[in-house]
Structure 1
């Protein structure tokens, strides 16, 4: 069992941004992630910094904490340039980077570069080409690829990742094609639950839905002869019915979190990710309770980070 956090890039580095990453390490979180977006939802017209520079800065001031994206997507990334950034980031961090990666959605990132938003099928098509190519770019010194959506011509990535054969992928997926990519290329799988249940569903329905996703992941692994136990299973919190407005939230108290986390660890989830509090946002929470969860939560569940 692992407990990790998400630090959204909404604070200037010299005005609290740096301190958040140091605090995450000092509190004992396994990994601190950040979102890889150009902007996001209610933060669209407020401060929002880039993921790769933020993680590079975080790598320079921490020494034990794993770092990662949750998640990067093809919406505004190209595998060739992303691979170069990731290899550099893995080097700066001394091999502490995990790449959370997903197909993306129809948020601001989908149209900022001037393109029309992709349909779900088009997103899946891009993702199906993006992930295997990125895998090769991070594993091989020179890659040439001519695809439907992406090309690479003798793309050099020397010396490669510190982590061998490459840094780990945490693939966010719930559909059949995405789960196949997670089974084949992932070292971890990421879920946020079933979005259709967020407002009107119950916690019990949500747990059942996540259990169903894990079963489908197992089937995708079995189809290629892989043991699903090899993959970490990550729950990014904040999007299940427990976090809907006007409900008692899992971050309201240590006991509430332990109850929430225990139900999901029992399903087979191996890592739970909670958002660092941001006042006045959907992720507002009591800072003292957040720290108590970080330092005592796993012990209450009988696990260790």
Structure 2
């Protein structure tokens, strides 16, 4: 993956494909975005009671509707995924897209994904349990995507002669963009990631300041660097991806505000900034002309 400054978008899977969904992905390519991602959830926050489609089928359709745009998840988690079945789906998606897929992957949260597959009396995993599962999930998925046959028995996940032929179009496998802020996740990003993803410090979103957020993210990048050093990797090998919409301030209130925000974060070392495709009457509401101006003109401000 390259280290140049890039802009990408995330398109929520809330549109029927033949009733408005397809044109968004086509338009994302036309606007020149580096990548278009989608969320991989069973349901999500205020969108729970409306349309919400599966991430992998949506991305497969998007792969057939586009030619150059990279595609991916932000992010997939072990909350309702198993490495064996996920690997098969990803290899298929990588094939359909001719090698344009990036897997954004994280430990998951405590939202609807954490409870949908569990009985009413079952408690969702604790943060430690999510980290435990993630720590086993990522290495097994890595192996499944690299090797034609895998047998592995773990505490949470096993594979018995799992066949993944012919493997990924991208070699040795499609890239992982690992979402992480804690030490265990950072170590996984350093070892297995081709990119690292953050949304900033969630503790600052409602009551923090933009300056505090910048310092928090600076600290995250420093910890990533330490994890990479421990793993024997140069931190510059990893792309650094910021998913916007979850930090203090209003970086999308104007074109200049976004340019200032993006410039600050590029200077911190980020290589990719992701903005949400506008969704009317939601937290992602945004004037379409402003969104398209950001997509087409913002990067030119940095030379």
Partner of 1:50: 54
1:259 matched to which residue of 2?
A: 260
2:68 is aligned to 64
Alignment match of 1:32 (pick from 26, 33, 36):
36
Q: Secondary structure at the match of 2:298?
A: helix
Match of 1:120 among 127, 130, 138: 127
State how far apart, in whole Å, the 2-side matches of 1:275 and 1:40 are.
Answer: 15
- Name the CA distance, whole Å, in 2 between partners of 1:233 and 1:267: 10
Displaced runs of 4+ in structure 1, greater than 6 A?
A: none
- Give, in angstroms, the shift of residue 116 of structure 1: 2.7
2:25 aligned residue (18, 21, 24): 21
Q: Which residue of structure 1 aligns with residue 200 of structure 2?
A: 193
CA contact (8 A) 1:235 1:273 kept: yes
> Which 5+ residue runs of structure 1 have no aligned equivalent?
243-248
> 1:33 aligns to what SS in structure 2?
strand
SS at match of 1:262: helix
Q: Is the 8 A contact 1:34 1:69 kept in 2?
A: yes
- The 8 Å contact of residues 252 and 286 in structure 1, kept in 2 or not, is answered as no
Residues 99-129 of structure 1, C-alpha deviation per residue, up to 9 Å, x if partnerless?
Answer: 0000001000001012531001100000000
In the aligned structure 2, how far is the partner of 1:121 from the partner of 1:145?
A: 23
Rounded to whole Å, the distance in 1 between the matches of 2:77 and 2:91 is 17
What TM-score do the two structures reach when normalised by structure 2? 0.97
Is it true that 1:284 corresponds to 2:285 in the alignment? yes
Q: In the alignment, does 2:179 pair up with 1:172?
A: yes
Residue 252 of structure 1, CA deviation = 2.1
1:154 pairs, out of 154, 161, 174, with: 161
The aligned counterpart of 1:205 is 212
Contact preservation (8 Å) 1:101, 1:172: yes
Give the CA RMSD over aligned residues: 0.6
| CA distance, structure 2, for counterparts of residue 225 and residue 137 of structure 1 | 23
